[in-house]
Amino acid sequence: MSFVGLGLINVRRNLGRSVLAIISMAIASLVVTSLLSLAPSAHTAEHLALRFLLGGDILVTPQPVVTSAADLDPARGTPASWHLDRLPPDTAGLLAEAAPWPWAYGYLAVDGAPPPLLSDAQIASVEQALQGQAKLAGIVPLSFLPVLERVEGQDGPPTSYVRSFLAGRDIAADVEWWGGYFETLLSRGSYLGDPAGASGSGGVVCDEARTQRGYPGTRAGASLALVLPQAIDPQGGSGLPVWDFTRGTQTEFDVVGTLRTVTATELTQGGPVDYYWGTGAILTAQVTIDQLARQAGLNRAPVAGLAIKAKDLVKLDELVGAIRAALPDFRVLSVRELAASLAWTGGVVPLVGEVSGAQVMFSLVPRGLPLDLNLIFAVLAFTIAAMIVAANLLVLLIERRREISILRSLGARTADIAVMVQTEVLLLSLAGCVLGFWPIRLLATITLVANRLSIGQIASLTLGDFGLVCGIALGLAALFGLLPAIASTRTTCMEALRND
Amino acid sequence: MISPNLRAVNLTKTYHVNELVWAVRNLYLDIFPRDFAVLSGPSGSGKSTLLHLLAGLDRPIYGDVVLEGNRFSRLDEDGLARLRRNRIGFIYQFFNLIPYLTAEDNVALPLQFAGVAAPEARSRASQLLANVDMSARRHHVPAKLSGGEQQRVAIARALANEPDFLMADEPTGNLDSARAADIAALFGHLNRDLGKTVIVVSHSDVFDSQANRVLSMLDGRIVGDERR
């Protein structure tokens, strides 16, 4: 009977304690695996949805985007006053000056700030700065056109129209990048095709969550009635267009598909918040939006930002860093950071004030304490798991004191005892690791596959993380497992036998 | 002139049990090769403590034990373990067998501690059990063995690495007189025929016929050394 064999026997002999040790180690490794596997908000698939909505992995915008409370610090010169833009119900004919962010639910605007648009010169400067960047797969302009949307079943005056926007997409790039996902939509007919004027033959894809609460949801096969504005001042005072909806033209589109995006708010509150979400993107083809822009009096659709495609997500943060260095005057955000910012705001702008009058004032100061609950959970889980493991080992030490003393009286050395105890502890820890790692990692692998990582990349990431989790768990277990062996050398055999 | 192979030099051990107890007090003792020594004396006279000190299972507060030039005080716990494994076979009154191992595995343990491969260790353990008439019971765990059988297994285990010294603490204390006589005869055989140096702590006179020395203890001191 070797010491390894003795360890194995002890695993079987103390089955209850072994199971408890395995469970505690499984919880600890599950927490580590979760931290390693998931980007912020990845469990809600938000970053995946954002990739689809953005058409890329990195967003480049011409002005700051609010992603944390620090962005609203008046001491840093950023305005503390923001509003969620919305068409006032009694002023439907007013000129709409600003455009919504294509990736956000609700239009978050800094009071008095210029509209967040990119000029041709800015686009050219970005493209020039990123030339030769090896990890970059492509740059997609995020074109937009503000529209008024007639909600299905509401045949009233323009006051019943809600404000939305068309986001232009490069279909060839979509197909190349997203492959089967958009091909499915394309196979349904006229996805993002030529609108043929106002004949209603064009198609769009909508975000399901964009519909105002109380109205029918947008669904594939529905018809979408939009009012397209005229650009009364194509250059505007600041080189940006000003829109006039009073001379708008109505166009109908077929909704040929829907995107479903899930937000933390939906998950935690059980449904959309009780006010206008409003400005989720209506995706249409770049050629379509450019044609509509020409109808509105522009050469082409305005650009709200640039979506940059990375060659793979593994080196995304590295690419973001390189782009930030190349574009110091722009705000550069990865989909992970956007997902995190949406998680922070709950997917929408947190509501603090009351709805009053034509404009709704919001504050972005988070409610409650600005704590990372995931981190707190991880720390708690680790603490509890460590306590259980430590308690187990203490029991092991007390239970085995007599046995260890007998073995030592027969000539076993400290190293021999250590091998016996370590065999048991490492076996239990390894079992816990496997149980804790693989279930959560298999779930995460679905996301990796959806993000089009290669099998080699997934295998490399997975095995690397498994090695890390096992290394941490087995390393800690080995450290704790040494205690009984070391403790056994501190007393003579007879002292231990006498005190037992 | 034969020189002693085990010496106790000014050996002293105390315990604190409400008050200071001198278990072994300034004790000098020479044990010679092929001695069969019985430590006798009333309860609390220090017999078992002396035996534990001589086996290196316990440490004195001062004084030393010297086994063929090896001073125990200069050895760490692993050094003492190595010495016990190779030179001393120890038998406890309550056997101290590993409860979840079979008789054969219990006997094989010290062999494996000494680096003998598992199959070879099992084979030799089987032979050792045959020597103490325990072949038929070698696959039983201690709970399935009688007191006498457990003691035989403990003796086989003590002999596994062919030690020069065999030390036993009340080895017949839990046995009936017939079994006790058998064990005593076995010890006599080991001493006479195999040349083992035997030191036994015993209350009874069952070993007297086998022993060549009877050491009487009182209050932690040897008060009599009867040679036969």
Judge whether B91 and B166 are in contact, CB under 8 Å. yes
Within A132-215, strands assigned E span: 136-150, 161-169, 203-207
- Asked if A13's CB is within 8 angstroms of B100's CB, the reply is yes
Confidence of residue B201 (pLDDT cuts 50, 70, 90): very high
Determine the pLDDT at residue B113: 86
In order of their start, the domains of chain B are 34-45+77-227 (3.40.50.300)
Q: Is the CB of residue B123 less than 8 Å away from at least one CB of chain A?
A: no
CB contact under 8 A, B58 and A495: yes
List all residues of chain A from 29 to 88 with a beta carbon under 8 Å from chain B.
Answer: none
Which residues numbered 158-177 in B keep a CB inside 8 Å of some CB on A? 161
Q: Where are the domains of chain A?
A: 3-37+373-499, 49-63+81-349
CB contact under 8 A, B81 and A2: no
Cβ B124 vs Cβ B80: under 8 Å: no
Given an 8 Å threshold on Cβ–Cβ distance, is A411 in contact with B58?
A: no
pLDDT tens for chain A, 500 residues: list them.
Answer: 577 777 777 777 777 878 887 888 888 788 777 766 654 434 444 555 566 666 778 888 775 444 444 444 445 544 433 443 333 332 222 222 233 333 232 333 344 444 556 778 888 888 888 888 877 888 888 887 877 776 655 555 544 566 667 777 666 666 665 555 444 444 443 444 444 433 444 667 665 555 544 445 566 677 777 888 787 655 555 555 666 766 778 888 877 666 554 444 444 444 433 333 333 567 777 778 888 888 888 887 888 788 888 876 666 777 888 888 888 777 787 776 665 555 444 333 322 222 222 222 222 223 334 445 555 666 666 667 666 766 776 676 677 778 888 888 888 888 888 888 788 888 888 888 899 888 888 877 776 665 556 677 678 778 888 888 888 778 877 777 777 667 766 777 777 666 55
| Average pLDDT over every residue of B96-115 | 90
In the sheet that holds A107-110, the strands lie side by side as A107-110, A82-85, A360-362
pLDDT tier, B90 (very low <50, low <70, confident <90, very high otherwise): very high
**Which ipTM score applies to this complex?**
0.89
pTM for this model (two decimals): 0.55
Shortest CB distance from A411 goes to which of B84, B101, B105?
B84
- Whole-number mean pLDDT of chain B? 89
Closest CB to B109: pick one of A9, A410, A492. A410
Identity of the residue in B81, B100, B108 whose CB atom sits nearest the CB atom of A408? B81
Q: Beta-carbon neighbour count of residue A201 at 10 Å?
A: 15
Residue B175: alpha-carbon gap to chain centroid: 17
d(CA B63, CA B14): 12
Structure confidence at residue B35 as a pLDDT band (50, 70, 90): very high
Q: Does B105 touch chain A (CB under 8 A)?
A: yes
A493 touches chain B (CB under 8 A): yes
Beta bridge partners of B11: B27
State whether residue B82 sits within 8 Å of chain A by CB: yes
Candidates B50, B73, B112: best to mutate against A (most CBs of A within 10 A) is B112
pLDDT at A335: 73
Q: In what order do the strands lie in the sheet with B213-218?
A: B88-91, B165-169, B197-201, B36-40, B213-218, B221-227
Give pLDDT, residue A218: 63
CB contact under 8 A, A489 and B77: yes
With contacts defined as CB-CB under 8 Å, which chain B residues touch A1? 101, 105, 108-109, 112, 118
Q: Test A411 with B108 for CB contact under 8 angstroms.
A: no
What percentage of residues in chain B have a pLDDT greater than 90?
A: 47
In 3D space, the residue among A336, A330, A331, A332 whose CA is nearest the CA of residue A315 turns out to be A336
Chain A contact for B118 (CB, 8 A cutoff): yes
Q: What sign has the CA pseudo-torsion B131, B134, B139, B140?
A: negative
The mean per-residue pLDDT over the stretch B116-123 comes to 90
Give the residue on A whose Cα is nearest the Cα of B88: A410
CA distance B58 to chain A (A): 6
Number of CB atoms found within 10 A of residue A391's CB = 14
CB contact (8 A) between residue B110 and residue A9: no
Would the CB atoms of A409 and B77 count as touching at under 8 Å? no
Q: Are residues B109 and A414, on separate chains, in Cβ contact within 8 Å?
A: no
| B98 in reach of chain A (CB within 8 A) | yes
Tell whether the model's pLDDT for residue B20 goes beyond 80: yes
Question: Is the CB of B108 inside 8 Å of chain A's CB atoms?
Answer: yes
Hey, is the C-beta of B208 within 8 angstroms of any chain A C-beta? Answer: no
**pLDDT of A440-499, one tens digit each?**
888 777 766 655 566 776 787 788 888 888 887 788 777 777 776 677 667 777 776 665
Average pLDDT, chain A: 64
Looking at CA atoms only, how far is residue B15 from chain A in angstroms? 11
Q: A15 — contact with chain B (CB < 8 Å)? A: no
Long-range Cβ contacts of B58-63 (<8 Å, 24+ apart): B58/A492, B58/A493, B58/A494, B58/A495, B58/B13, B59/A492, B60/B11, B60/B12, B60/B13, B60/B24, B61/B12, B61/B13, B61/B14, B62/B10, B62/B12, B63/B8, B63/B9, B63/B10, B63/B11, B63/B12, B63/B26, B63/B27
Which of A:397-456 have CB within 8 Å of B?
403, 406-416
Lowest mean pLDDT among B172-176, B206-210, B217-221: B172-176
Nearest Cα residue in chain A from B89: A410
Q: From chain B, pick out residues whose CB is under 8 angstroms from the CB of A495.
A: 58
Q: Output A465 or B199, whichever has higher pLDDT.
A: B199
* Closest residue to A406, CB basis, from B82, B96, B105: B96
Note whether A8 contacts B: Cβ–Cβ < 8 A.
no
Nearest to A401 by CA among A491, A332, A281, A463: A491
Q: Is the dihedral of CA B120, B124, B130, B136 positive or negative?
A: negative
Checking DSSP bridges between strand A360-362 and strand A82-85, what pairing results, if any?
antiparallel
Is the minimum CB–CB distance between A250 and chain B shorter than 8 Å? no
Per CB-CB distance under 8 Å, the chain A contacts of B58 are 492-495
- Closest approach of chain A CAs to the CA of B1, in angstroms? 33
A486 touches chain B (CB under 8 A): no
Segment B202-213 mean pLDDT: 87
Predicted confidence at residue A264, as pLDDT, reads: 40
